[in-house]
Amino acid sequence: MKKFIILAVALFTAAAVYAQPRAIGGRLGWGAEVSYQHFVKNADFVEIDLGLFTWDLNLTALYDFTFAQPQWTDRGSWAWYAGPGAAVGLGVLNGYNRFNVAAAGNVGLSYSFWFPLELSFDIRAQLGVAIHDGAGFYWGVGPAIGVRYRF
The candidate with the shortest Cα–Cα distance to 39, out of 127, 103, 118, is 118
DSSP state of 2: H
Q: What is the pLDDT of residues 96-124, one digit of tens each?
A: 788 999 999 999 999 999 999 999 999 99
Q: Report yes or no on 102 lying in a domain.
A: yes
CATH classification of the domain holding 64:
2.40.160
Q: What is the pLDDT of residues 60-86, one digit of tens each?
A: 999 999 999 998 888 999 999 999 999
Domain that holds residue 41: 23-150
For the chain, what is the domain count? 1
Helix (H, G, I), strand (E, B) or coil at 72: coil
Picking from 1-10, 83-92, 103-112, which range would have the lowest pLDDT averaged per residue? Answer: 1-10
